[in-house]
């Protein structure tokens, strides 16, 4: 008896299994070189099926050595053109032709291959793909009720994240490092389980990386050369919450049901964003809203009534197009990270779909600022009208977002009125931020400081805008000090006074009119912050006013920036440019600080020198 197996049945390991059962005992197994080429290519790409097929060939070689069967390799390797058209059946045709030429039984686990071979008159032995009943994975033994994730890696001690939301501990769960063979065995079991279990699927399969969904577990498997060792990260949700469990629940429920909203759920990693998003999804679904999700990978734990979509054809834009045909009331987008994600989120929201996006952010306002530059400023309140910030598993802050035409806080001229995005505290109704365009720049102005006191928008933006305007006129160093909500003093070099003021004061008046701020122009000699010798870098190293620091004159060489310092030998000091901290350094015994050019610190220092900002050394 002569049999010719194709790639599918070799990968499945069914040829050696049939021999062990006595079905092909004594037969000649003719393995096409085309099968070897396919397996080799898959193994080189880090695809598990390639390795599984090569292991089956080794088992066949062992059986041949024992005299149970005869093993031979037949045919030629497919050409590059034939391999390029493998998906169109070119390689399959080569294998079938060999079976016909050898008058052999064609063995396959591919139902299409079997039907084509029968149609061509071949003797076909179709072995259905092996399906195992998958129970639990070995990796599940590492989980307990408090475990959110398990982290296994070759030659490393197994680790886990355990604890309550917002209070996770990353701790070892075994004393001994894991051997490569053990981690590899876990990885193969996970992939097989995902293929065979009804609650499993492979979300992503790339050379060196697989992402698997197995029931409640999302598992990432990395292999060399993508990673420096085999690594498995398994994540499982440990909390199932209802929206009623959170602060502001009644107000949020009413807001969500009132009409379709644009909501960003934000927070740091592990804060409980996805858990809250899941509770929102279930609440909306229970109140007769059609809810879908957009995820890559699919990670949210929701009921079967909520369909979870991933990328269609590798692009979320296509998923969005499909969802618009499905017409959901709300879509949960987890996670919104890249510019494309924000654009898709905005397009769907503007199409009238309620959108709830999950966003990484360390502050509540950061989530909204991530839309700036990605969505036209005036459209932001139409895209997002609510920001929910989650911290330690709780709703920490809720912002309401809307637009008003008004004079921004801290500005006084009526002709400066413009559209302003108001970000207000959902609970108190107090304004927290204003976002608007000022001199063609988008600025986000906090309306309260850390102590909760009101502070002027001028304190945040006017100084920079005045500096920019004056530097476009003056050649020397410019120093700006604010004296109130609508008044500032500008100190310039004596040679620049006439240029800045202009004939009859016309030039400075133009600047004042543009900014809505009264500006008093003076020389650096009148600047109390730098004393009587307080020109930009005049006179080399000299003591600055009040003993707060020492003004220095850096020297730029081909390789270094050298800062001479009087005294402080061996001491740690801060180097500042104007009022801004640059870096901390130790003064050498020779009384200097050297910074290598090309470094980030040196670049900032050179920019400050080019702008003729005073460089100051202050004891730390």
Instruction: Quote the pLDDT of residue 317.
Output: 92
Edge to edge, the sheet with strand 592-596 lists 555-556, 560-564, 592-596
Give the model confidence (pLDDT) of 137-158 as tens digits: 889 899 988 888 899 999 999 9
Extract the tokens encoding 379: 């459209």
Q: What is the dihedral of CA 359, 361, 367, 371, to 10 degrees?
A: -80
Question: What 3-state DSSP class applies to 138?
Answer: helix
Sign of CA dihedral 365, 368, 374, 376: negative
State the Cα–Cα distance between residues 376 and 384, nearest whole angstrom. Answer: 12
| Per-residue pLDDT reduced to its tens digit, 12-65 | 888 888 888 888 888 899 999 988 988 888 888 767 778 888 999 999 999 999
First to last CA, the chain: 88
pTM above 0.75, yes or no: no
Rounded to 5 degrees, φ, ψ at 255 are -65, -40
Q: What would the pLDDT profile of 462-495 be if each residue is shown by its tens digit?
A: 677 788 888 888 887 888 887 766 788 888 888 8
Identify which of 563, 531, 535 has the alpha carbon closest to the alpha carbon of residue 547: 531
The fourth-level CATH superfamily of domain 243-446 is: P-loop containing nucleotide triphosphate hydrolases (3.40.50.300)
Q: ω into residue 335 within 30 of 0, thus cis?
A: yes
Q: Angle at Cα 384 formed by Cα 379 and Cα 387, nearest 5°? A: 145
Average pLDDT estimate for 600-617: 82
- For residues 561 and 594, the answer to whether their CB atoms sit within 8 Å is yes
Q: Which whole number is the average pLDDT over 311-316?
A: 88
Domain map (residue ranges) of the chain: 2-126, 138-235, 243-446, 458-526, 542-619
Query: 132: burial class by Cβ within 10 Å (0-12, 13-18, 19+)?
Result: exposed
Q: What is the Cα–Cα distance from 482 to 228, expressed in whole angstroms?
A: 55
DSSP characters over 59-99: HHHHHHHTTSSEEEEES-PPPHHHHHTGGGTHHHHHHHHHH
CATH architecture of 138-235: 2-Layer Sandwich (3.30)
What pLDDT is recorded for position 310? 87
Cβ pair 191, 220 in contact under 8 A: no
Per-residue pLDDT for 589 more than 90? no
**Residue in 137, 174, 297, 153 with CA at minimum distance from that of residue 221:** 153
The encoded tokens of residue 383 equal 């895209």
Distance of CA 506 to the CA centre of its chain: 50
Looking at every residue in the chain, the average pLDDT score rounds to: 83
Average pLDDT over residues 164-185: 86
Residue with tokens 């104007």: 578
The pLDDT tens digits for 326-370 are 889 999 998 898 889 999 999 999 999 999 999 988 888 888 888
What distances in angstroms separate CA 5 from CA 73, 84, 353, 555, one per listed residue?
A: 11, 21, 52, 77
* 517-532 pLDDT tens trace: 888 888 887 777 554 3
CA atoms within 13 A on the CB side of 113: 29
Identify the architecture of domain 2-126 in CATH.
3-Layer(aba) Sandwich (3.40)
**pLDDT > 70: percent of the chain:** 88
> What is the structure's pLDDT at 84?
59
**Tokens for 93?**
């045709």
- Per the CB < 8 A criterion, the answer to whether 573 and 564 are in contact is no
> What is the pLDDT at residue 14?
84
pLDDT tops 60 at residue 323: yes
Which among 76-90, 211-225, 434-448, 586-600 has the top mean pLDDT? 211-225
**Matching fold, domains 2-126 and 243-446:** yes
Alpha helices in 309-388 (DSSP H): 316-326, 339-350, 364-369, 380-383
Q: Tokens for 212?
A: 């698997």
- Residue whose tokens read 């071949």: 122
**Separation of alpha carbons 484 and 232, rounded Å:** 58
Backbone angles phi, psi at 519, to 5 degrees: -125, 130
The CATH fold assigned to 458-526 is: GMP Synthetase; Chain A, domain 3 (3.30.300)
Exposure letters 489-526 (e unless 16+ CB within 10 A, then b): bbbbbeebeeebbeeeeebbeebbeebbbebebeebee
Question: Residue 257 belongs to what H/E stretch?
Answer: helix 249-258
Rounded Cα–Cα distance for residues 27 and 21 (Å): 13
Measured CA to CA, the distance from residue 159 to residue 169 in angstroms comes to 10
Give the per-residue pLDDT at 156.
94
Query: Closest by alpha carbon to 103, among 36, 38, 28?
Result: 28
Q: How far apart are CA 60 and CA 71, in angstroms?
A: 7
The string of pLDDT tens digits covering residues 371-423 is 887 888 889 999 999 999 998 888 999 999 998 888 777 666 666 778 889 99
What does the pLDDT average to over 85-93?
Answer: 65
**Segment (H or E) for 363:** none
CA-based nearest residue to 447, from 485, 415, 484, 408: 408
CA 431 distance to own-chain centroid: 30
Looking only at the bridges linking them, the beta strands covering 291-295 and 307-309 are parallel
CA 515/CA 470 separation, integer angstroms: 12
Q: What pLDDT sits at residue 532?
A: 37
Structure tokens at 236: 């499982």
């Amino acid at each position: 008896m002569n049999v010719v197996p194709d790639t599918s049945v070799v990968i499945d390991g069914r040829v050696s299994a049939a021999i062990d059962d006595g079905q092909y005992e004594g037969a000649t197994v003719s393995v096409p070189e085309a099968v070897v080429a396919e397996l080799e290519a898959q193994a080189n790409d880090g695809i598990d099926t390639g390795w599984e097929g090569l292991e089956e060939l080794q088992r066949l070689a062992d059986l041949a050595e024992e005299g149970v069967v005869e093993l031979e390799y037949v045919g030629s390797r497919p050409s590059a053109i034939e391999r390029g058209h493998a998906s169109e059946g070119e390689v399959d045709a080569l294998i079938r032709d060999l079976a016909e030429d050898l008058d052999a039984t064609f063995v396959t686990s591919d139902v299409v291959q079997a039907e084509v071979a029968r149609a061509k008159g071949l003797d076909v032995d179709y072995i259905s793909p092996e399906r195992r009943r998958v129970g639990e994975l070995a990796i599940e033994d590492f989980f307990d009720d408090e475990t959110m994730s398990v982290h296994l890696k070759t030659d490393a001690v197994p680790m886990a994240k355990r604890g309550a939301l917002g209070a996770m501990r990353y701790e070892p769960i075994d004393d001994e490092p894991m051997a490569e063979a053990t981690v590899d065995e876990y990885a193969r079991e996970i992939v097989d389980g995902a293929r065979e279990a009804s609650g499993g699927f492979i979300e992503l399969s790339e050379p060196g990386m697989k992402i698997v969904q197995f029931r409640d577990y999302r598992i990432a498997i990395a292999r060399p050369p993508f990673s420096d060792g085999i690594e498995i990260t398994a994540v499982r949700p440990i909390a199932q919450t209802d929206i009623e469990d959170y602060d502001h629940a009644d107000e949020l429920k009413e807001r969500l049901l009132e009409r379709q909203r644009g909501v960003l759920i934000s927070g740091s990693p592990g804060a409980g964003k996805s858990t809250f998003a899941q509770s929102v999804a279930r609440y909306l679904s229970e109140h007769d809203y059609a809810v879908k999700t957009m995820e890559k990978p699919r990670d949210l734990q929701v009921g079967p009534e909520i369909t979870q979509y991933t990328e269609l054809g590798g692009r979320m834009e296509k998923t969005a197009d499909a969802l618009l045909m499905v017409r959901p009331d709300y879509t949960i987008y987890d996670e919104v990270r890249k510019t494309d994600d924000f654009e898709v989120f905005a397009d769907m929201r503007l199409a009238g779909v309620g959108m709830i996006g999950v966003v990484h952010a360390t502050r509540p306002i950061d989530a909204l600022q991530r839309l700036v530059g990605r969505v036209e400023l005036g459209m932001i309140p139409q895209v997002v009208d609510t920001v929910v910030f989650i911290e330690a598993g709780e709703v920490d802050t809720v912002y309401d977002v809307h637009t008003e035409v008004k004079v921004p806080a801290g500005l006084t001229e009526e002709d400066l009125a413009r559209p302003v995005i108001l970000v207000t505290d959902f609970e108190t109704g107090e304004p927290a931020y204003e976002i608007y365009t000022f001199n063609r720049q988008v600025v986000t102005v906090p309306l309260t400081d850390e102590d909760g006191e009101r502070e002027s928008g001028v304190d945040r933006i006017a100084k920079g805008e005045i500096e920019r305007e004056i530097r476009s006129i003056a050649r020397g160093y410019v120093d700006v000090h604010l004296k109130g909500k609508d008044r500032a003093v500008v100190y310039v070099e004596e040679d620049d006074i006439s240029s800045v003021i202009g004939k009859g004061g016309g030039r400075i008046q133009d600047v004042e009119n543009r900014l809505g701020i009264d500006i008093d122009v003076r020389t650096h000699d009148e600047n109390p912050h730098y004393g009587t010798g307080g020109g930009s870098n005049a006179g080399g190293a000299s003591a600055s006013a009040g003993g707060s620091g020492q003004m220095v004159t850096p020297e730029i060489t081909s390789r270094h920036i050298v800062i001479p310092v009087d005294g402080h030998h061996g001491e740690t000091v801060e180097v500042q440019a104007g009022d801004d901290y640059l870096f901390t350094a130790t003064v050498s015994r020779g009384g200097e600080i050297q910074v290598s050019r090309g470094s980030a610190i040196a670049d900032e220092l050179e920019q400050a020198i080019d702008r003729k900002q005073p460089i100051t050394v202050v004891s730390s």
